[in-house]
Amino acid sequence: MRSIFAVFCLFSAFSAAQVSDGFTDKDLTKDPAWKGDTSAYKVNTSKQLQLNSSGSDSAAIYTSFSLFSNTEWQFWLKMAFSPSDNNLAKLYLMANGPLKAPLDGYYIRLGENGSFDSIDLWKQKGGVETKIIDGIPGRCAGSSNTLRIKVTRDNLGNWTLYSDSTGGTNFIKEGQVQDSSVTSASFLGVFSKHTSSNASAFYYDDIYAGPVMEKAQPLDIIINEVLPDPLAGGVDFVEVLNRSARVIDLSSLRLSSMDTIGGKLTEIKFITTAPRVFFPGEHLVLSTDASAIRSQYISGPEENFIEMSSVPAMNIDGDVVVISDANGVIIDKLVYLAEMHFPLLNDTKGYSLERIDSERSTQEAGNWHSAAQSLKATPAYRNSQYAVADGNDELGIEPAIFSPDNDGYQDVLSIVYNFDTPGFVASLRVYDASGAEVRQLARNELLGSRGMFTWDGLNEQRVKSPAGVYIIFFEVFKSSGELKRFKKACVLATKF
């Protein structure tokens, strides 16, 4: 089975155990479900969790969480006041019970007596609370404090605490410690202790707890679908897929175009400025208007749409789409052309170009096809034209009967090769039942050990071939003199 299947399994496992909440759905009852003093909090118009209490009191909410071998936590918070013993926040990283009861766990505390409030890591064992990292003095001592906190813990109990006092991601190390007194968790959450004047002055956002986020390496993230010619009222979009086994921090990536003459990145855009976890096997749609796309197409989950303030211009006739890291290292690049659409479409407006196989080269023209006619695009869903190079035979075809009518069902014939070693040079031709050559798909092309070609049912003149039986003739050789020839029959069918 292909590695992408394992990646999707990882996505399911990570999703089940981690916590990631930007409160964009404005719902505290699901994805994730928060418990505790939920009536004392609300999701405000800025899609932030805000304390909504009264008087002098404390309020805590928590959600289920399981510890990973190597875990990362991040919290954004704003305290619109000068913290103190009577106005403080606790960010519970892990706890074995509801946050107001005696428990075992760890938390970040912000608020203390004096004018040098720091960001500290505390351990709690029952009713005994002990500071184990004393952060930099004065980091949260202002009259209003906007912060982002990051904590990591490895499987040996080595803790490292970081913060950015502007709420961004330029983290400064606050301290580190080794402590493995508590090794399991059931919950994480936030605790707000307040006086009446600050009963609505606590804000929380971008809560993440899960595997340590990594930076993408080339081809970890791939371009999976593009829409450069949207319907009226719609917008361009680029869909990306995390095909790696890594949990990627989306804020480390950029979307751009490229000057094809000089090879310089242009129109470089931040995908997001806030940390956003990008899980293995996950599809994300990048655009300026998620609601417009979702209103025009059958779409995946809302949380898989990333709204950007602007995206690089995408010309209808052809352009370059690039995913890079913050240092300009190219993660993936697609040079698309209008000619990559299915030639028999009368009008490609509103149709996306879909990648067929995530394991094949991005720039392989035969790896792209118009989305199915019934859908036109599949934002945040598996592509309608998706196919993989499966099988262990040296040459296989799938499906044996295909119908290139762009309905999204068996539109393309996949011709899969699988050799023990790379280095073969291939020629690939299609013949009709009379023996006449219909299409040459490859000529003296250097192969890897495994891969796939596709046939869209068109002849050399880009006219649809008539229904009938066709022969796939595949010839490969090596410079050593080794020669292999294969013949496979397929049926091109037409709907009546």
Looking at residue 391, what is its pLDDT?
Answer: 65
**Contact predicate 389/443, CB 8 Å:** no
**Contact predicate 495/402, CB 8 Å:** no
Give tens-digit pLDDT for 255-314: 999 998 999 999 999 999 877 889 999 999 999 999 999 999 999 998 899 999 999 999
Which residues in the chain are classed under CATH 2.60.40.4070? Answer: 389-496
**Contact predicate 284/380, CB 8 Å:** yes
DSSP per residue over 155-170, as a string?
A: TT-EEEEEEETTSSS-
Q: 287: closest CA among 336, 264, 321?
A: 321
Give tens-digit pLDDT for 392-445: 789 999 999 999 988 888 999 999 898 988 889 999 999 999 999 999 999 999
CA 392 to chain centre: 30
List of the chain residues with pLDDT < 70: 1-17, 389-391, 496
Which residues in the chain are classed under CATH 2.60.120.200? Answer: 17-211
Using alpha carbons, list the distances in angstroms from residue 345 to 92, 334, 338, 375.
Answer: 56, 22, 11, 14
Degrees, nearest 5: CA angle 145-201-82: 40
Q: Residue 91 and residue 208: Cα distance in Å, rounded? A: 12
* Phi-psi region at 16: left, alpha or beta (left = phi > 0; alpha = psi -120 to 50): alpha
CB neighbours (10 Å) of residue 448?
13
Tell me if the bond preceding 399 is cis, omega within 30° of 0. yes
φ/ψ (deg, to 5) at 482: -65, 135
Which amino acid is it at 221?
I
Looking at residue 186, what is its pLDDT?
Answer: 93
* CATH code for residues 389-496: 2.60.40.4070
Q: Give 496's contacts (C-beta < 8 A, 6+ positions apart).
A: none
Looking at residue 3, what is its pLDDT?
Answer: 47
State the fold for domain 213-388. Immunoglobulin-like (2.60.40)
Tell me if the bond preceding 218 is cis, omega within 30° of 0. no
Strands 401-402 and 483-492: parallel
Q: Residue 71 and residue 149: Cα distance in Å, rounded? A: 14
Looking at residue 15, what is its pLDDT?
Answer: 53
* pTM of the full structure: 0.77
CA dihedral 330, 334, 335, 339 (to 10 degrees): 180
Query: The sheet that has 128-133: what strands, in order across it?
Result: 35-36, 57-64, 187-194, 88-95, 103-110, 119-126, 128-133
**Contact predicate 210/17, CB 8 Å:** yes
Which amino acid is it at 180?
S
| CATH 3.40.50.920 correct for 17-211 | no
Looking at residue 423, what is its pLDDT?
Answer: 85
**Contact predicate 163/139, CB 8 Å:** yes
Q: 95: closest CA among 205, 161, 19, 189?
A: 189
Q: Residue 121 and residue 132: Cα distance in Å, rounded? A: 6
φ/ψ (deg, to 5) at 201: -105, 15
Q: Residue 73 and residue 152: Cα distance in Å, rounded? A: 6
Looking at residue 14, what is its pLDDT?
Answer: 52
In the beta sheet, which residues pair with residue 79?
145, 202
**Contact predicate 345/321, CB 8 Å:** no
Tokens 């879909």 belong to which residue? Answer: 354
Q: Residue 22 and residue 159: Cα distance in Å, rounded? A: 24
Q: Residue 13 and residue 362: Cα distance in Å, rounded? A: 28
Which residues in the chain are classed under CATH 2.60.40.1260? Answer: 213-388
